[in-house]
Structure 1
Amino acid sequence: MLVYKAPTKDFLFILNDLLKVQELKGVEGFESLTPEFCQEVLYPAARFHEEVLFPVGIAGDRHGAHLVDGKVLTPPGYKEAWKQYCASGWLQLSMPEELGGAGLPSIMASIIGEMRITTAHSLAMYGSFCLSAARMLNSLAPEWIRTHVVPNLATGQWTATMCLTESHCGTDLKQIRTTAVPQPDGSYAIHGSKIFISGGDHDLTDNIIHLVLAKIPDADGKVGARLDEVNVFMVSKHKIDLQTGELLEKNACHVSSIEHKMGIEGSATCVLNFDGAQAWHIGSTSGGVKRNSMLPMFLMMNYARLSTALSGVGYAEISAQNALFYAKERRSGKTPIFSSGDQSIADPIINHPDIRRNIMAAQSFAEGGRATALRVAVWQAQAESDQISAEERRRLKDMVDLFTPVMKAYFTDKGFDCASDCLQVFGGHGYTKDYGIEQVVRNARIGKIYEGANGIQAIDLLRRKLPDNDWRAFDYFFQTIHTFIGQYCVSGQADQGLLGRFVAAVTLLQNTVEEIRQESQQGAGVLPHLAVAYDLLHAFGIIVVAWNWLEIHQLLQEKANAVELTPFENRKVILACFWVEYELPLVHALCQRIQQGTPSVLKLPPEALDVE
């Protein structure tokens, strides 16, 4: 049976000691995040997720969601848990007070989000777009939607979905065929079908708000094939009275089937058919020319991608916890290195270096990745604040844009890898359902696909995030890294071994990207490097986690000069060393592969790959 203990101590360490959120300037609410206040919020949240959501999440995945008479029935306990979750205030913790939230900085929502996904990923999927949809609609939608729809999403009374994918196309959204036909009352009639819609139907709430991508036909009823012709529309499961907000009759939208998946079985992944469903355009039009057509969806997806990145952290965390619990109890073989020294025939397997390697790899990623993710949550809040300079906001926004594909892809890759490696600790028992770790592995795999498959994220990094604005984000990133290195060097606490390895890896990555930049500016573009885009993204991911680990290492070494470190702190010092020793060397191999390229990928035409 799986176990889970919320990493509350680590959350508080990152908030209070590493990021010092109470002292941060530029975002209203940071000053309220005192150590005492954060404890008052996080301890009850941890208990709720451990005692309420975790058992429901495990049972729900095994029971699954079911489609009965055209309606989705969620697993037993889901409806009650969702109501209790919303009533407890965890959903709207970081929503503005005017929308019914507590108004706390978004970093607190990130922490709650990690716990929610780790304990009950399937249940979390039903409400995963509530807050991002509420924020987007409150910014871009007409007044009646801001009045009657947004508050219901903000409190979890209704849920939301993103309806992008169609059966013939995935990420290539310019291929979509769903149409939105203008109606005399200002609404649109949506015709089409969408697949892979998480929470597309359920019995948790009375209504669901679908954010649907569709094209508006021209005067001849034809649709184009350009991405800028795609628009965002709001379709409510039940029609809404624009004056009162009352729910009316069922809209012409129904679920025709749900997917049978390898994981997160409690989440209903639906095929939705829109048969002239009443819809409302989100965004702005001028003189028949659509402007910012995809902006509403991009605003939602950026939040969703960072949330998906946290799923990788959460799965590494729970995998490490369960592998460690098992490894302390299971005995096999004797080891002279960490021998227990007793007369038993075998030592606990935690004493074996290879077992420790797997567990420490998961721990070092979970804690280093968590520190990175929460730092980016701070940047995201600061980049949206008008209390800091425009130049600083631009720098932070560029950094968040650069980190978004890196975190989404690298973190979910590592989360799955950590889950798989921790299953290995269990041996044959891990492959059975007895211990539950196989469920973690199956569930973790979806993160590599969600919100744009990881290969797409790598291409986005190479083709868009790095070259945009004359490679400005690239310059900001390495300026920030070198500033940290300079501060680390003069602090008097620099571990020359760790620092030297980090500087060598950073320099190699910077030079590698600079070569791509120069080739691009000479007219070659970045296309020749597409085959190694994934390697580039992973190199960035390893570096950013190493950066956060070195800052933690520096912080604790400074503290060690004054007081004796606690076991928790000593453990962090060792995990920082582990990341630099074990993961950072991979940057050298990845950069070598990037620099030499993989021309063999381009040598065989597609038809030649067939086996005769």
Structure 2
Amino acid sequence: MATLKAPIDDIKYLINEFLETDELSNIPTFSEMTTDLTDAIFEQAGKVSETLLFPLNKAGDEQGCTYHDGVVTTPDGFKEAYQEMTASGWGNLTCDPKYGGQGLPHYIANAVDEMLISSNMSFTMYMGLTIGAYNAIEKFAHEDLKEKFLSNMVSGQWSGTMCLTEPQCGTDLGLIRTKAVPQSEGNYHLSGSKIFISAGEHNLTENIIHLVLARTPDAPSGIKGISLFLVPKFNVHDDGTLAELNGVFCSGIEHKMGINASSTCSIEFDNAKGFLVGELNKGMKAMFVMMNSARLHVGIQGLAIAQASYCSAKDYAKERLQGRALSGAKYPEQAADPLIVHPDIRRMLMTMKAYTEGARALSSWLSYKLDLSQHADNKQQRQEADELVSLLTPVFKSFLTDIGETVTSLGIQVYGGHGYIRENGMEQYLRDARISKIYEGANGIQALDLVGRKLPEQMGKYLRHFFHPISNFLEQYANDKPLTAYILPLQKSFSRLQQATLFIAQKGLSDPDEAASAASDYLNMFGLVALGYMWAKMAEQITYRKGEMSADFYDAKLNTGLFYMQRLLPQTGSLLSNILAGCNSTMSLKEEQF
């Protein structure tokens, strides 16, 4: 049976020791983040994850959501858990206190999100979509809309969605057909069909606030003619009370491979009353705020589901008796030794642990950079942090969701046949993890975004925010003997990343297919190096600035990092070979030869 233990100690280490948060210590919200306070937040989040949400995970997957005549009902226990979670404020950690939120830093809130998601990914999607919608409304909507809608969204009384995809278009949003017709009162009437709308209809809240991409009758064609609209399920009176049902109807839910307890809906808009968010024909600018927030959230989903799978796999490996250690019986008093004595089981567990803990460090570090981009006193510092976050968002989303699939697959392998059957819950993790590589921009699209937009941005300016700190770090510790085992592998892999970057920059100018065919390998190399950088920085911190964690914790951390450097980071070599091979073998077949 699957087990779950929130990684509280690892999170405390990252927040209290690994991160250097002095740059924001003069801002009240951040100065209030004392160790006592954050430790209490993490302890409580771990308790909620393990005792409230995790028991609903397997049952929710098996029961799923039900649909009848436009009404979607979530699995048993979800509504009660949702009410408890929102009443306790777990759904509004980063929201502005002006609207009833707690205003916590992202590096705190995202650590909490990981724990909550690992316990029940489907459940947390209902709250996560609302925060994404909140972010877009808070940044771009008129004050009247903010006053009318945000407080109830922050409290959890109302929820939110993002409505992009249509039957004829997914990634290519320029093909959107949903129409928004202006009305004399200043609002719009929207008509059209949207599909794959997560949390598009459910019984958890009294109202659902849809953010909808649509085009007005005289809008330019393509992506330049798209606008963003706020469309409530129920119209809202000026005093904030609910009015009549708007022209919004759920026509069905999808029966999916995973996240079965999350309602994935087809939504019909029939002259539904909506309100413009942001500028006319500038909807993608506003929607990207929501999408980028969602992409970081999806990356955390990959990390969280990996953590859940690792918890169960390591516990099972310690308990399941199977065979004897090749070097001699380790537990002669028992009928057999536990699985964990076998090198190949340890290889899988170490791979799971190294990826997961490295990804958690990257999540904490990037979340803090996001806070810097929004709150640093220095304008240049804010801009540089924002550019770094922009550069790493596709890497974070794609690489961490790849890790989610890899780790959950290994978790099944550790269990063997018992992992493949539904009873033990391991196969659910793999099914749930798989969607994270697809939605919010499939990972191949993230790779194209990295090489096609982020690398050439301002002649490589964004890239320098990542490359220069690594170069400086490697130079600083180049002759540091205690860190040699961490510095040399990072040095080699970083050199490969630089070589691949130059190759793509040169070849992409003459042949776009060269850059596109190398994109996914390049992104994976980027992700491997990013995690390698995190492991090297953790090794440096532990070696020279140990804190309050136990000696056993530090020893395990250093050895896990060593495994990453020796067994996982060298994958950059084969990825470089793939990239340098060029696109000929990829593109040479005629269409009819497939």
Aligned equivalents of 2:60, 2:389: Cα separation in 1: 34
Partner of 1:446: 435
Partner of 1:303: 293
Spell out, residue by residue over 1:170-216, the C-alpha distance to the aligned partner (whole angstroms, 9 max, x if none).
11000111111111111111111000000100110100000001111
Q: Show the 5 A alignment for 1:464-503.
A: 464-489=453-478, 492=480, 494-503=482-491
Aligned equivalents of 2:22, 2:515: Cα separation in 1: 43
AA aligned opposite 1:304: A
Aligned equivalents of 2:536, 2:70: Cα separation in 1: 54
Gaps of 5+ in 1: none
Aligned partner (choices 261, 282, 285) of residue 266 of structure 1 = 261
Partner of 2:364: 374
Does residue 586 of structure 2 align to residue 597 of structure 1? Answer: no
AA aligned opposite 1:278: K
Aligned equivalents of 1:231, 1:337: Cα separation in 2: 66
AA aligned opposite 2:263: A
TM-score (norm 2): 0.97
Spell out, residue by residue over 1:542-590, the C-alpha distance to the aligned partner (whole angstroms, 9 max, x if none).
0001100111111112257x99952121111111001111111100110
Partner of 1:509: 497
Spell out, residue by residue over 1:290-324, the C-alpha distance to the aligned partner (whole angstroms, 9 max, x if none).
3x331111001111100100111111111111011
Partner of 2:233: 237
Distance 1:532 1:27, change over 3 A: farther
For the residue of structure 1 that corresponds to 2:89, the secondary structure is coil
Q: Show the 5 A alignment for 1:205-604.
A: 205-218=205-218, 224-241=220-237, 243-285=238-280, 290=281, 292-337=282-327, 339-388=329-378, 390-489=379-478, 492=480, 494-520=482-508, 523-524=509-510, 526-559=512-545, 566-604=551-589
Aligned equivalents of 1:607, 1:377: Cα separation in 2: 47
Are the aligned partners of 2:24 and 2:375 in contact in 1 as well (CA < 8 Å)? no
Are the aligned partners of 1:531 and 1:597 in contact in 2 as well (CA < 8 Å)? yes
For the residue of structure 1 that corresponds to 2:555, the secondary structure is helix
Deviates more, 1:342-351 or 1:143-152: 342-351
Aligned equivalents of 1:217, 1:327: Cα separation in 2: 61
Aligned equivalents of 2:576, 2:474: Cα separation in 1: 21
Aligned equivalents of 2:477, 2:210: Cα separation in 1: 48
Aligned equivalents of 2:297, 2:374: Cα separation in 1: 18
Aligned equivalents of 2:467, 2:26: Cα separation in 1: 23
Cα displacement (A) at 1:98: 1.1
AA aligned opposite 1:333: G
Partner of 1:109: 109
For the residue of structure 2 that corresponds to 1:468, the secondary structure is coil
Partner of 2:182: 182
Aligned equivalents of 2:125, 2:177: Cα separation in 1: 26
Partner of 1:157: 157
CA RMSD of aligned residues (A): 1.8
Distance 1:138 1:590, change over 3 A: same
Spell out, residue by residue over 1:71-119, the C-alpha distance to the aligned partner (whole angstroms, 9 max, x if none).
0011111111001001111112222211211222121210121122111
For the residue of structure 2 that corresponds to 1:162, the secondary structure is strand
Distance 1:305 1:28, change over 3 A: farther
Cα displacement (A) at 1:232: 0.6
Cα displacement (A) at 1:23: 6.5
Cα displacement (A) at 1:489: 3.6
Q: Show the 5 A alignment for 1:7-86.
A: 7-21=7-21, 24-25=24-25, 28-86=28-86
Aligned equivalents of 1:119, 1:564: Cα separation in 2: 25
For the residue of structure 2 that corresponds to 1:127, the secondary structure is helix
For the residue of structure 1 that corresponds to 2:321, the secondary structure is coil
Are the aligned partners of 1:214 and 1:233 in contact in 2 as well (CA < 8 Å)? yes
Spell out, residue by residue over 1:417-467, the C-alpha distance to the aligned partner (whole angstroms, 9 max, x if none).
100011001111111112110111111111111201111111111101111
Aligned equivalents of 1:599, 1:306: Cα separation in 2: 34
Are the aligned partners of 2:169 and 2:175 in contact in 1 as well (CA < 8 Å)? yes
Cα displacement (A) at 1:345: 4.5
Cα displacement (A) at 1:526: 4.3
Spell out, residue by residue over 1:145-165, the C-alpha distance to the aligned partner (whole angstroms, 9 max, x if none).
111101111111111000000
Cα displacement (A) at 1:28: 4.4
Are the aligned partners of 1:21 and 1:33 in contact in 2 as well (CA < 8 Å)? no
Q: What is the total number of aligned residue pairs between the two structures? A: 594
Moved over 4 A (4+): 22-28, 562-565
TM-score (norm 1): 0.94
Distance 1:601 1:527, change over 3 A: closer
Are the aligned partners of 1:100 and 1:154 in contact in 2 as well (CA < 8 Å)? yes
Are the aligned partners of 2:418 and 2:424 in contact in 1 as well (CA < 8 Å)? yes
Aligned equivalents of 1:608, 1:469: Cα separation in 2: 40
AA aligned opposite 1:385: H
Partner of 2:122: 122
Are the aligned partners of 1:462 and 1:526 in contact in 2 as well (CA < 8 Å)? no
Gaps of 5+ in 2: none
Are the aligned partners of 1:26 and 1:382 in contact in 2 as well (CA < 8 Å)? no
Identical-residue share of aligned pairs (%): 37
Aligned equivalents of 1:563, 1:301: Cα separation in 2: 38
Distance 1:470 1:81, change over 3 A: same
Distance 1:591 1:338, change over 3 A: farther
Deviates more, 1:107-116 or 1:333-342: 333-342
Aligned equivalents of 2:365, 2:43: Cα separation in 1: 21
Distance 1:269 1:31, change over 3 A: same
Are the aligned partners of 1:263 and 1:446 in contact in 2 as well (CA < 8 Å)? yes
Are the aligned partners of 1:161 and 1:209 in contact in 2 as well (CA < 8 Å)? yes
For the residue of structure 2 that corresponds to 1:510, the secondary structure is helix
Aligned equivalents of 1:403, 1:339: Cα separation in 2: 47
Distance 1:177 1:338, change over 3 A: farther
Cα displacement (A) at 1:365: 1.0
Aligned equivalents of 2:46, 2:335: Cα separation in 1: 39
